[in-house]
Amino acid sequence: MRRLRIRSSGSYFNILKSKRSILQEDDDKRFVSDIELNESCIKETFRNCYDLEYRRIKVQQKPQWIIVYINSLIDKPLLEEHVLKPLLARSAEEDIPSDAEELADQWISVGTTIISSQISEVVRNLLQGHAAILTAGSSSVITVAVPGVAKRSLEEPSSEPVIRGSKEGFIEQLSTNLGLVRARLKTSKLKTESITLGELSQTQIVMTYLEGIAEDKVLEQVRSRLRSIQIDGVLDSGYIEEFIEDQPYSPFPQVHSTERPDVVAAELLEGKVAILVDTSPYVLIVPMTFWTGLQASEDYYIRWPIATFIRWIRFLFIHFAVFAPALYVAITTFHQEMIPTNLVLSIAGSREAVPFPAMIEALMMEIVFEALLEAGVRMPKQIGPTIGIVGGLVIGQAAVQAGLISAPVVIIVSLTGISAFTTPRFSLRNGIRLLRFPMLFMAGTLGLYGIVLGFLGIMLHVTSLRSFGKLYFAPVTPIGLAAFKDVFVRIPIRLKYRWKTNKEGGSR
């Protein structure tokens, strides 16, 4: 079996090596001065592509220009107004420029034009919404940017709703997303670096940061990790997230993903790095800490006492989300003496007809709750919430009346589900939901000792995690003033900046 794995791994790397060599050979190919041969070359490259279209413009019964474009990626009115009309109107002139640079400067009114003689570069531009202009007697090809891919309007992010704050969310178009960030940070210090990933998808990735605020070590790590990615296609930012995180097998996310431009701007001001992926509405932010997952953007838009109180509510209920079912199972199974007598009698009476142990009972209800949650998410929006609420009430009530589940377990599981949703970050919320099940098994086998061991294991794991060289539990470990400044307490913003002023010895 081991030999088979080695052979398959070797063959895979041989395929990648041969694919890269073929791509390198394609990069070396160039156009010639014969317009017919250049057209044939593009046709051969895009054979069996019905949406590739050609428009010939003749001068003295001979093709002078051939405009090539992919119909599904361009804006036709833009192409006709700024490319076709100027060429058709001046094609009857005697002095027609044969030089590509002169043609692009004098006749083409589109803002972005690229002149290249490499076949691979022209093909890449065609796939990004450009139109290529082949000129007779010239080996240089002009590509003009006339993108026309449909995009949705700006809407409030469904995964991060707020009462007070910006209602704009990222969409699937990279240029729009970058514009939303620049609209909030109008400074030349906002730097952007582009890289293309995916040998087949050719997805554009943009790394953005504030010069002088982001650390050079973090920037270098982000660059090296992005450049080391070898994959056929990048369809969403989730692909990038799994490649660049430090511990891919941890249930805790080490890369922060968000749909909110104001969150990205705030994180950039703190010296972090944002990664924007074309065709994805989620922007990645690194490095990430555990406490970032418990903070919402709205915390900084409301008054600080309310924001501090809400944070403490989140801290309390995140423990309920992980340990509530485990504590119920451990106490009712191994430590009944810890419960008051009246409560013990009430629980015993409700569990008298239940044929399952407490751990199996809680596990069944947790699985049913997760199934209802998943079904509510996947169903149409019109009936999804209704199915979730009605399904939970009907199934819970019927199970209690049938004697399959006791009423206290329904209460505990419901409280656990509500507690998990107090976490504002979706990725951290999923990790917390997952931790309930190993804690449930630990409590069912070892009681409170199992819960203590599980808690210690979680703390050891979290405190050992790092995100791009930064401690995941910082600034709480090691403990410092910053932990009380913006983790446990959201101090007033004017004091926060005054604290920075005193610390740095300057003014802002």
Question: Model confidence over 89-142: pLDDT tens digits?
Answer: 777 666 676 677 777 777 777 778 888 889 988 998 898 889 999 888 888 898
Q: Is the whole model's pTM more than 0.95, yes or no?
A: no
Task: Select from 74, 81, 149, 146 the least CA-distant residue to 114.
Answer: 146
pLDDT band at 441 (very low <50, low <70, confident <90, very high): very high
Give strand pairing partners of 52: 70
Instruction: Assess whether pLDDT exceeds 60 at residue 9.
Output: no
Point out the least confidently predicted range of 3-17, 123-137, 216-230, 313-327.
3-17
Would you say 285 and 274 are in contact if contact means Cβ atoms under 8 Å apart?
Answer: yes
Instruction: Assess whether pLDDT exceeds 60 at residue 498.
Output: no
Task: Return the residue matching tokens 């970032």.
Answer: 292
Distance of CA 380 to the CA centre of its chain: 23
Tokens of 158: 């469904």
pLDDT of residue 385: 65
Residue-range domain boundaries for the chain? 27-145, 174-288, 300-471
pLDDT of residue 139: 86
Distance of CA 371 to the CA centre of its chain: 24
Alpha carbon distance 447, 408 (integer Å): 18
Alpha carbon distance 102, 114 (integer Å): 13
Burial of 416-432, coded b for 16+ CB within 10 Å and e otherwise, reads bbebbebbbbebbbebb
pLDDT of residue 390: 65
- Which range has highest mean pLDDT (9-13, 73-77, 396-400, 434-438)? 434-438
Give strand pairing partners of 467: 470
Alpha carbon distance 181, 185 (integer Å): 6
What is the chain's mean pLDDT, rounded? 83
Alpha carbon distance 294, 429 (integer Å): 9
Question: CB count, 10 Å around CB of 248?
Answer: 10
Give strand pairing partners of 206: 194, 276
Question: Model confidence over 159-175: pLDDT tens digits?
Answer: 888 888 888 999 989 98
Would you say 234 and 240 are in contact if contact means Cβ atoms under 8 Å apart?
Answer: yes
Element (H, E) at 56: strand 52-59
Would you say 388 and 376 are in contact if contact means Cβ atoms under 8 Å apart?
Answer: yes
Share of the chain above pLDDT 90, in %: 34
pLDDT of residue 104: 76
Question: Model confidence over 260-299: pLDDT tens digits?
Answer: 999 999 999 999 999 999 989 999 999 999 998 888 888 8
Burial of 21-34, coded b for 16+ CB within 10 Å and e otherwise, reads eeeeeeeeebbeee
Amino acid at 501: T
Instruction: Assess whether pLDDT exceeds 80 at residue 143.
Output: yes
pLDDT of residue 19: 44
Question: Model confidence over 167-215: pLDDT tens digits?
Answer: 899 998 998 999 999 999 999 999 999 999 998 888 999 999 999 999 9
pLDDT of residue 6: 31
Would you say 116 and 122 are in contact if contact means Cβ atoms under 8 Å apart?
Answer: yes
If you average pLDDT over residues 53-74, what whole number do you get? 86
Instruction: Assess whether pLDDT exceeds 60 at residue 24.
Output: no
Q: Starting from the edge strand earliest in sequence, which strands make up the sheet with 113-116, in order?
A: 52-59, 62-70, 130-135, 141-145, 113-116
If you average pLDDT over residues 314-325, what whole number do you get? 92
Would you say 434 and 389 are in contact if contact means Cβ atoms under 8 Å apart?
Answer: no
If phi > 0 it is left, if psi is from -120 to 50 it is alpha, else beta; for residue 429 that is: alpha
Question: Model confidence over 409-432: pLDDT tens digits?
Answer: 888 988 888 888 888 888 898 889
Would you say 440 and 359 are in contact if contact means Cβ atoms under 8 Å apart?
Answer: yes
Question: Model confidence over 397-414: pLDDT tens digits?
Answer: 777 777 788 888 888 988
64 backbone dihedrals φ, ψ, rounded to 5°: -95, -40
Question: Model confidence over 366-392: pLDDT tens digits?
Answer: 888 888 888 777 777 666 666 666 666
Q: Is 286 helix (H, G, I), strand (E, B) or coil?
A: strand
Q: Is 417 helix (H, G, I), strand (E, B) or coil?
A: helix
pLDDT greater at residue 479 or residue 122: 122
Alpha carbon distance 48, 452 (integer Å): 63
pLDDT of residue 285: 96
